[in-house]
């Protein structure tokens, strides 16, 4: 019993005990596990889904458990429209939204990535994201409380509907689902279609019920969401490009202990290398699986048809210049080597 001890040593013990317990919260804080909730809207077996899993594995391994990453795929936690706001509020720490989804928070420059036929191949896309243009665009997120960590590829978008899409005239009056991007809206209108923004999580249902007639996406997204089962015709148009910005809540990220942040930056770098290395193959394999399913007729446009689409869609580069920013468009042309048609 404390009071049976001589007053001085009992007192010393109490002070020592009080001292340690006062330190505990800090000690436990330093040891406290950091939780990163990583929410996204696609299936786990996609380039983005696998990239997220790889980041989780590397982050948890390299921080020796000081960081725990919880991944919520397929819009389980937040769907389009909700996810970026949830990140800004700090309800989720990490996302990887499509670059087509930043217009609604006022960062319209990202819609440059949606311009039709602007990238001739993955290398020309990477030349933009891995250089000063990509860096500058990430800077524009910071005033929104968002820190851009990496760009992850998915791939080129193909068109689908329940009728053949060979000529521009085939699009007339079709209700086509798009992501929330004014450039994607203009792309569809330039083909004579009626664009309709719809959350990715509602797409299958929207096509099955006929709320929308068709859509555009990458083969890996189409296959993993079974879009080919409700779309009788697919045209391998590669008319635009879908890719991602891996982003975190800026306050959360800058509040991390510096040593932890450095480890996580390294994990993100290696996860990015992995995700970008598998993207093209994932999409090729998905397209092969769609063809093998026999559920949808997969059509490669002739050079003349491709040229007809380009001619019709190129107006969007000019029409949306004011929204996206002439400087942004010119800098992407330069970095990607894009040559506007005469
Ligand atoms: C879409 O909404 O179509 C895509 O952005 C989904 C995704 O994140 O790939």
325 within some domain:
yes
Q: Is the CB of 220 under 6 A from ligand 1?
A: no
* Separation CA 131–CA 85 (nearest Å): 27
Same domain, 262 and 173: no
Q: Is residue 338 part of a domain?
A: no
Q: Using a 6 Å cutoff on CB, does residue 198 contact ligand 1?
A: no
Give the residue ranges of DSSP H helices in 63-171: 82-89, 122-129, 132-142
Cα-to-centroid distance, 200 and ligand 1 (Å): 6
Whole-number pLDDT of residue 18: 52
Closest Cα partner for 240 from 334, 62, 114?
114
Q: Quick check: CB of 154 below 6 Å from ligand 1? A: yes
One domain for residues 125 and 77: yes
189 is a domain residue: yes
Nearest CA to ligand 1 atom 5: 98
Rounded to the nearest angstrom, the distance between the alpha carbon of 42 and the centre of ligand 1 is: 7
Q: Which atom of ligand 1 is nearest to the CA of 177?
A: 3
* Neighbouring C-beta atoms of residue 292, cutoff 10 Å: 8
Q: In the 8-state DSSP scheme, what is residue 7?
A: H
Q: How far is the CA of 235 from the centre of ligand 1 (A)?
A: 18
For the Cβ of 283 lying below 6 angstroms from any atom of ligand 1, the answer is no
Is there an atom of ligand 1 within 6 Å of 98 CB?
yes
Mean of all residue pLDDT scores within the chain: 93
User: Do residues 290 and 141 both lie within one domain?
Assistant: no
CB 114 within 8 A of CB 184: yes
pTM of the model: 0.90
67 shares its domain with 32: yes
Interval 268-305: pLDDT, tens? 999 999 999 999 999 999 999 999 999 999 999 999 99
pLDDT over threshold 60, residue 151: yes
Say whether both 191 and 79 belong to one domain.
Answer: no
3-state secondary structure of 241: strand
> From the CA of 258, how far away is ligand 1's center (Å)?
32
Domain count of the fold of the chain: 2
Question: pLDDT by residue (tens digit) across 195-219?
Answer: 999 999 999 999 999 999 999 999 9
Phi-psi region of 233 (alpha: psi -120 to 50; beta: other; left: phi over 0): beta
- If asked whether residues 126 and 173 sit together in one domain, one would say no
CATH number at residue 197: 3.40.190.170
Ligand 1: atom nearest CA of 154 is 9
Asked whether residue 115 is assigned to any structural domain, the reply reads no
With respect to residue 1, please indicate whether it lies within any of the assigned structural domains. no
Contact between 271 and 165 under an 8 Å Cβ cutoff? The reply is no
228 lies in the same domain as 261: no
Question: Could you tell me the residue range of the domain that residue 80 belongs to?
Answer: 9-107+121-153+243-281
DSSP 19-51: HHHHHHHHHHHHHPPEEEEEE-SS-SSSHHHHH
Strands 175-178 and 194-197: parallel
Cβ atoms 284, 238 nearer than 8 A: no
Same domain, 228 and 260: no
Decide: 42 in ligand 1 pocket, CB within 6 A.
yes
Q: So what's the pLDDT on residue 11?
A: 57
Q: How many angstroms separate the CA atoms of 341 and 127, rounded?
A: 20
Q: Considering only CA atoms, which residue is closest to atom 3 of ligand 1? A: 200
Q: Is residue 112 part of a domain?
A: no
Question: In the beta sheet, which residues pair with residue 152?
Answer: 244
**339 in a domain, yes or no?**
no
Whether 316 maps to a domain, the answer reads yes
pLDDT over 90 (residue 220): yes
- Residue 175's pLDDT band, with cuts at 50, 70 and 90, is very high
Q: φ, ψ for residue 174 (rounded to 5)?
A: -70, 135
Query: What's the gap in Å between 216 CA and the centre of ligand 1?
Result: 10
Q: Are residues 139 and 213 in the same domain?
A: no
User: In 117-249, where does DSSP find H-type helix?
Assistant: 122-129, 132-142, 182-190, 203-209, 219-224
Residue 139 has pLDDT above 60, yes or no: yes
In this structure, are 97 and 170 located in the same domain?
no
pLDDT at 61: 98
Quick one: 54 and 164 in the same domain? no
Say how many Å lie between the CA of residue 41 and the centre of ligand 1: 7
Same domain for 205 and 63: no
Instruction: Tell me, using a 6 A CB cutoff, whether residue 95 lines ligand 1.
Output: no
Instruction: Check pocket membership of 242 for ligand 1, CB cut-off 6 A.
Output: yes
């Amino acid at each position: 019993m404390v009071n049976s001890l001589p007053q001085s040593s009992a007192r010393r013990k109490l002070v020592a005990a009080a001292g340690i317990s006062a330190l505990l919260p800090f000690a436990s804080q330093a040891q406290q596990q950091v939780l990163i909730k990583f929410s996204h809207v696609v299936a786990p077996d996609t380039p983005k889904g696998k990239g997220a899993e790889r980041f989780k594995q590397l982050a948890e391994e390299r921080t020796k458990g000081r960081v725990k990453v919880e991944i919520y795929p397929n819009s389980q936690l937040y769907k389009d429209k909700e996810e970026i706001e949830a990140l800004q509020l700090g309800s989720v720490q990490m996302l990887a939204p499509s670059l087509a989804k930043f217009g609604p928070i006022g960062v319209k420059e990202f819609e440059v990535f949606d311009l039709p036929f602007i990238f001739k191949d993955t290398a020309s896309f990477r030349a933009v994201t891995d250089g000063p243009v990509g860096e500058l665009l990430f800077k524009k997120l910071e005033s929104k409380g968002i820190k851009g960590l990496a760009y992850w590829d998915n791939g080129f978008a193909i068109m689908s509907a329940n009728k053949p899409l060979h000529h521009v005239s085939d699009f007339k009056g079709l209700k086509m689902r798009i992501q929330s991007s004014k450039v994607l809206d203009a792309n569809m209108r330039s083909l004579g279609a009626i664009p309709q923004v719809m959350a990715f999580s509602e797409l299958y249902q929207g096509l099955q019920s006929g709320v929308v007639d068709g859509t555009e996406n990458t083969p890996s997204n189409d296959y993993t969401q079974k879009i080919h089962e409700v779309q009788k015709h697919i045209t391998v148009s590669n008319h635009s490009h879908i890719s991602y910005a891996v982003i975190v809540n800026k306050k959360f990220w800058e509040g991390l202990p510096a040593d932890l942040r450095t480890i996580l930056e390294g994990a993100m770098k290696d996860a990015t290398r992995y995700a970008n290395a598998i993207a093209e193959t994932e999409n090729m394999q998905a397209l092969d699986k769609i063809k093998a399913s026999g559920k949808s007729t997969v059509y490669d446009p002739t050079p003349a048809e491709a040229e007809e689409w380009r001619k019709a869609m190129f107006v969007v580069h000019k029409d949306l210049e004011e929204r996206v920013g002439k400087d942004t468009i010119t800098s992407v042309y330069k970095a990607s080597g894009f040559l506007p048609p005469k």
